[in-house]
Structure 1
Amino acid sequence: MIDKLAWIHIVDGKILVTRTKGRKKFYLPGGKRQKGESDAQTLFREIEEELSVQIELPSMQFVGIFEAQADGQKPGILVRMTCYSATYLGVLAPASEIEEMQWFTYEDREKVSEVDTLIFDILKENGDLV
């Protein structure tokens, strides 16, 4: 099981996604927990590294935990994605290994990883994603 955290950031019914250099699929911003990190510490570090902004920790709201086949891994290797929404400080800009960021609607769900399609489905059901 791969333990990851993701930031759910939706504006006007569109969700922020990123694409890592050398990859074709887009992913929700976030990443793997380092040993001993809390959810808040992991999300803060990953979002700052990937998008040059700082999550406002008091604004973090739990969205859900989702599990699916891990992208690019052998069958049976799952990813557990713990998702939060939050406000941020700064200007969004791709950094580190991130090649680009996009705003996706539900129609774009075929361009994301398996676990992210589950998240897109829930967000659409809840009326958050157009």
Structure 2
Amino acid sequence: MSDSIAELDVVAWVRIVDGRLLAVRSRGRDLLYLPGGKREPGESDWSALAREVREELGLELERASLRELGVVRAPAHDQPAFSRVRMACFTADGRGAMAASGEVDEFRFVGPDERGLLAPAARAALDLAAEHGLLARA
């Protein structure tokens, strides 16, 4: 399997507050990821994203505000069965009180100067958000 390039296909919520990117730390992980994850069989991007954000942060996303930012590809981090990640990135408004839940131990907002805290795909999403003018200037 070392010669194959297995790609993990996921969706992610890009949430920017005060020019900083929301990131989460899953239980047992060393780096931060974006809220989101894998689709269940037959699940649309929207359904997967809304479900994952609800499970991880207790927020309800507002479908009418959903906007695709783009797709990033990066080396997989801490995913032994996969060598690369394909992450479809979306913005959307969320309702509710944010709280780490499920497999998420913490959430935090990071700026461009803290990119070293992020897994490679999350770094690529940070760059994508910057390209769209969504981040604070470092």
Q: TM-score range by the shorter chain?
A: over 0.9
- SS of the residue corresponding to residue 23 of structure 2 reads strand
Between the aligned partners of 1:36 and 1:71, the Cα distance in structure 2 is 26
TM-score by length of 2: 0.88
- SS of the residue corresponding to residue 126 of structure 2 reads helix
In the TM superposition, what whole-angstrom CA distance separates every residue of 1:31-67 from its partner, at most 9, and x where no partner exists? 1111100000000100000000111111100000011
RMSD, matched Cα: 1.5
Aligned-residue offset at 1:11 = 0.9
What is the match of residue 48 of structure 1? 54
Equivalent pair of 2:14/2:125 in contact (CA under 8 Å)? no
Are positions 1:118 and 2:124 aligned together? yes
Structure 2, gaps ≥5 residues long:
1-6
What is the match of residue 28 of structure 2? 22
Structure 1 residues 113, 38: CA separation in 2 closer, same or farther (over 3 Å shift)? same
Structure 1, gaps ≥5 residues long:
none
Are positions 1:88 and 2:94 aligned together? yes
Between the aligned partners of 2:48 and 2:80, the Cα distance in structure 1 is 25
Between the aligned partners of 2:21 and 2:82, the Cα distance in structure 1 is 28
Runs of 4+ in 1 over 6 A off after TM superposition: none
Aligned-residue offset at 1:73 = 3.6
TM-score by length of 1: 0.94
- SS of the residue corresponding to residue 31 of structure 1 reads strand
